[in-house]
Every structure is written in structure tokens, then in C-alpha cells.
A and B are shown apart, each in its own frame.
Chain A
Amino acid sequence: MNAALTAHTLSYSFKNNRVVQGVSFTVSAGAFFVVIGPNGSGKTTLLKMLCGIAKPETGTVEIFGRKLREYGRAALARAVALVPQIMPLNFPFTVQEAVLLGRTPHLGLIGLERHADLEIARQAMEFTDIDHLSQRKIDQLSGGELQRVFIARAICQQPRIILLDEPTASLDLSHQVRIMDLMEKLRVEQGITVVLVSHDVNLAAMYADTLLLLEKGHIAGSGSPAGVLCREVIESVYGCPVVIDKNPLGQTPRVTPVPALSSKIGE
């Protein structure tokens, strides 16, 4: 398979602190690639380097065989879209306006959209099931709706790779599954490569075809979920005892942390 994205020995420091150190990996085109790891393991920084927002200290990123640095800003944004973590917004755009902003790398300097752009935005809203909200203000939405607005905005960018930073954080169960299903649908129907950073090991295992496990900026494991999620590795990376068995729905592994209180452990 073709490589959509290749990272060669990426490193990044923040205030003399190496947060990512010599990370190399390849994401195949059309893959569902999930980066997992404990807090502060460098997941977000890695994601930012993959789309050119953070400049790696050493190492290079290749997007479809071309070095990231060789892309112009707009050209890169047409290849790779980012859905950052949700942040509070002071200025109330409507859902449609926010989604339309995704057309930015396709527009001229002043950014005047045409009817074709409106149509692309409408399709993106339909795909993420927010078309009924199009005239609502984005500061009136729930977390799950807002996340879908940001995903629609990224889809509107018509990228070949979409990067997401913790898209399911702080969402309830049904919205978590809904967002992940949406990503799978995007991958299958539109052939977009999905690279996602997640806290949720079990959700990641259910959807990913490849997992990358980070520990303090290093790669602690990569490969299929069944290969990466083994007890010794997870216990050492997360520093807590776990039990690993099979997800009752299928063949993916399931990680259950073991509480320290013995009263919470039944037989």
C-alpha cells in the first residue's frame, strides 16, 4: 500500500524538555491510525508536527511522498486537515459560517466563497448530520454537536488526510461512538486517511487498524491493536495493573485497569 504520511525521526522540545524524541512511523493511505499514550506523552505535539503547525526540531514529515516543507501553506491545507481539541469560542459564527471556513485553502486572498463552496459545505454538514443546525450559533451547541461542526469544517477542506486531537474527549458514550463511526465512514466512503489521537484505549482498539503507543515522547509499541495492547507493555507505560481480554463484540483486545482497592475486585 502507498504511504499517506511518513515521519522520520521527529523530535520536538518545549522549554528544554524533549516532548517527542526520534519518532518514526508510516501511515498507509486509507488507514485508520490511532496514536495512544498517557497524558504528556507527546501525542498532541506529534499531531501538530504532522500538519506543519509545529516545526520539528529534527526529522522530516512526508505527505504522499513529498516533504512537508515543499508544500505551500494552502497546498498543505488541501492535503491535510486538523481537528484540534475543542476550545471555547467567543465569537458566535453560525454553524454554516464555521464549516465554510474550511474552504479557506481553496479560496483567493479575500476568501469570497462561491455557490460551489456553499454546496461543499452543505454536503459536509449532511455527512456529519448537522445540516439541521446550519443557522444555529456555534456557542449554543452541545459538545458532541460542536465536535461534528469542527469535523465538517475539516471535511470541507477536502483533505486526503484528516488529523484529530482527542475528538471523543468529554463526550458521552453515544457521541463517542458516533464520532468514531463518522471517521470510519469517512475513511470507507471517501478514502480519507484518518489519524487520530486518543486517550481511550478501548475505543481506539475497536476502530484502529494500526495503533501507535507513545511513552514520554518515544514509541513504546506500534502495529495492530492485538499486537500493541499486551499486558506487560500497557502496565509499564501507564504504570497501573491491567487485565487484557477480548472485547465481547469481536476480536479486538479490551483493557481493564485494576483498581488498587481489593474491595472493588470481585471474583
Chain B
Amino acid sequence: MTSTPVLNRILSASVILLIVLLAAVFLGISTGPAGTGFKEVLNSLSGKQPDDQFLESVIWRLRFPRVLMAALVGAALSLGGLVFQAILRNPLAEPYILGVSGGSAIGAIIGILLGLARFPGVSLCAFIGSMGTLLLVLFISSGRTILKKDSLLLSGVIINAFCSAVIMFLISMAQDYRLHSIMYWMMGDLSSADLSQIGILACMVIPCFLLIFLLAHAMNALLMGEDMAGSMGIHVRAVIAGLLVTTSFMVSVTVCYCGLLGFVGLVMPHMLRLLLGPDHRVLVPACLIGGGAYMIICDMLARVLPRQGEMPCGVITAMIGAPVFIFLLRRARR
């Protein structure tokens, strides 16, 4: 096969970001409240006896699954942002801002209250919730007005407020022991990671990653407008529907496992678009890898920064993401 210029760009961007990801993984498993263990990680990777048995088991039993979970979640949410930005042709679109995450959370909590298992029951409820809010956002903001861009954000804000209210209502009505960690979950939490759950999550989101990559070229065409994309042989409605459903599914299962992590879909897609240009065949893999690295770092900060215990990871993502959002909003209004 002759090499293609695009393939080279995909590969070079991915390799560089993979190095960043590996560095993030190394940093993520070496640091934590129980102590820093760069040497332990290196020792056990090279098969030597560890100096500190306890730290070694913390590294591989606690931190490593958590880092894997963070990578998966960061990848899924970053990709979610990228897809929504492309389809809605709005640089500010993101699962959390659009209210899709909030809808998933309502679905998930209803699923938990009904006593369903996290997979497939709760995940399915979350998916229904996310599709519901997505359709609502699209319905509210549809129409050919100049304000379309703003109304999309506005409807997202309203839906988010409504979702929070419903969630709080459900919690106070239920007083259920199953919801004991709900406040953490509302702010996004990766502490429940274990390998079997990560396996299930991976089985659900990785096919979504592949499907979205296959549609990356169609997303490029869609950026030129639906008519132009249609005239180039793209089945516009099928591509949009496929991307929306896939992305909602991906985001909703992520929310089931990790709660509401805000603004994650904003930071990496925009940073990578600045560095790599708007070609989605390059951006999709780049967002997966870069988004994973970003979330690992955020989660590490959430574990390391507090004097005692840890804080929800969503605190960090929101503190980084919200200023980025404001910056993008200013730029878009220029």
C-alpha cells in the first residue's frame, strides 16, 4: 500500500500523543497520597523486587485501575465534545454544557433507585436520559434564526438546571443508602474504579470510538455545510443520526461509571484543533489519546492536592474547563 499523506499525519500525531499519554500514566500511577514511587514503578516494570511492598500494591491495585478508568473516560468525553462541536457546528458544544450528561445522570439515578444492575440496566436508563435531553436541546434550539448558536447554549443551561433539580428531588425523596456517595458522583468521581468495571466500560465505549473514527471523513464534509456534504455523496441524515446516537451512548455509559465531569469535551478538542488543524481523521485519534492523558492528570491532581483524602475529579476539570469556555465564548463573539 502506498503511503498517504493523511495517514502519515494521523500516525505522527498519534505517536507523539501516545508518548504524552504514557508519561501521564507513569505520573498517575507513581503519585498519590500514599507516597511517590517513581522507583517502585520502574522496579516492578523491570521485574526487580520492590523496596516497598505496600506502595507497590497501592500502585498496581489502586492507582493503576483508576488511571485506566481516567484514560477511558477522558477519551470518551473529549471525543464527545469533538463530535458535538462538528455536528452542531458550534465550538462551544460539549456533552456537559448541552445537558446530555445531566440527562444521563437522571436516567442513571432512576436506574439505581429501581434497583437495576449498573450494567446493562442503569446504563440503559442513562442512555435513554441522554437521548431525551439531546432531542430536547435540538428541539428547543432548532429553527433558522441567527441566535441559533446562543439558543443552543441557553437551552443547555436550562436543561442542566432542570436536571440538577430533578436529581436533587430524586435524592431527597429516596434517602436511599445506594445513593450515599451521590454528591461525589455529581461532581465526577473516579474512585470506584476496579478492573472488571473498567472491562465492561471499555467493551461499551471502544466500539463507539471505532465507529466515530469511520465517520471522521464524513464529519469533515459536514463542516462545509449539509448541502455540500450531501452533494459529495454523504448520507447526511444517517451520518448525523449515527454520530448523535453513538456519542450519547458513549457519554451516558461514562456518566454511569464516573458521574458528571464537566467541560472535559472542551479543553482537548480545542487545544488539538489549534495544533493539528480541523481534519477529523487526525483529531479523532488525537482526542482519544490526548483526552485520556488530560483526564489522568486531572485525576492525579484531585488525589494529590487535598491535605486529607481526595476531592472529586470534576472539581479540577471544571476549574480548568470553565475559563477555557469563557475564552472560547469571547473569541466566538468577536
Binds A, one of B19-27, B115-123, B275-283: B275-283
Q: For chain A residues 46-96, which have a beta carbon within 8 Å of chain B? A: 48, 51-53, 72-78, 80-82, 84, 87, 89-94
- Give bound CA distance, A97 to B217, whole Å: 12
The B interface is mostly helix, strand or loop, or mixed, namely helix
A111 is an interface residue with CB less than 8 A from chain B: yes
Verify if B2 is at the interface (C-beta below 8 Å from A).
Answer: yes
**When the two chains form the complex, which single residue of A74, A90, A110, A153 contacts B217, counting CB atoms closer than 8 Å?**
A110
* Cβ-neighbour of A74 out of B220, B224, B233 (below 8 A): B233
A135 to chain B: closest CB distance in Å? 11
* Central interface residue in B220, B221, B233, B235, by most chain A CB within 10 Å: B233
Cα of A72 to Cα of B234 in the assembled complex, Å = 11
Closest beta carbon of chain B to A130's beta carbon, Å: 16
B35 within 8 Å of A (CB atoms): no
Does B233 lie within 8 Å of A82, measured CB to CB? no
Query: CB distance A104 to B5 under 8 Å?
Result: no
Query: Which of A75, A101, A105 gathers the greatest number of chain B CB atoms within 10 Å?
Result: A101
Interface string of B189-216 (1 = CB under 8 A from A): 0000000000000000000000001101
CA–CA, A155 to B90, complex, Å? 29
**Least CB distance, A101 to chain B, in whole angstroms:** 6
Whether A90 and B232, one on each chain, are in contact in the complex, defined by CB atoms closer than 8 angstroms, is no
Q: Tell me which residues across on chain A come within 8 A of B224, comparing CB atoms.
A: 89, 98, 101, 153
Number of A interface residues in the complex (CB < 8 A): 41
CB <8 Å contact, A53 and B217:
no
Residues of B within 8 A of A48 (CB): 227
Closest chain B CB from A17 CB (angstroms):
15
- Chain-B contact segment, one of A113-121, A173-181, A251-259: A113-121
Asked if A104 and B230 make an inter-chain contact with CB atoms under 8 angstroms apart, the answer reads no
Chain B residues lying within 8 Å of A94, measured Cβ to Cβ, are: 277
Judge whether B50 is part of the interface by a CB distance below 8 angstroms: no
Find out whether the CB atom of A82 lies under 8 angstroms from the CB atom of B6: no
Chain B residues positioned under 8 Å from A109 (CB to CB): 214, 217
Judged by a CB distance under 8 angstroms, whether B231 is at the interface is yes
In the assembled complex, the Cα of A98 lies from the Cα of B277 at a distance in Å of 12
For B235, the closest partner residue in chain A by CB is A73
**Assuming the A-B contacts A53-B231, A77-B233, are A91 and B278 also in contact, with contact meaning beta carbons closer than 8 angstroms in the complex?**
yes
> In the complex, which of the residues B6, B227, B235 has the most CB atoms of chain A within 10 Å of its own CB atom?
B227
Contact present for B277 and A82 (CB under 8 Å): no
Given A78, A104, A157, which contacts B234 in the complex, CB threshold below 8 Å? A104
B25 to chain A, nearest CB (A): 28
Minimum C-beta distance from B129 to chain A (A): 29
Q: How far is the CB of B297 from chain A (nearest CB, A)?
A: 27
Q: In residues 160-218 of chain B, which contact A (Cβ within 8 Å)?
A: 213-214, 216-218
A217 in contact (CB, < 8 A) = no
Contact of B214 among A78, A102, A110, A153 (CB under 8 A): A110
B91 located at the interface, meaning its Cβ lies under 8 Å from any Cβ of chain A in the complex: yes
**Pairwise interchain contact B278-A82, C-beta atoms closer than 8 A:** no
Which B residues are CB-close (under 8 A) to A141?
A: none
| Contact B216 A110, beta carbon cutoff 8 Å | yes
Given the complex of chains A and B, what is the CA–CA distance between A74 and B281 in angstroms? 20
Query: In the complex where A97-B277, A104-B217 touch, is A113 in contact with B6 (Cβ < 8 A)?
Result: yes
Which 5 A-B pairs give the minimum distances between C-beta atoms? A111-B217, A77-B233, A82-B231, A105-B233, A74-B233
Residues of chain B touching chain A, judged by Cβ–Cβ distance below 8 Å, are 2, 4-7, 86, 89-91, 213-214, 216-218, 220-221, 223-225, 227-228, 230-235, 273, 277-279, 281
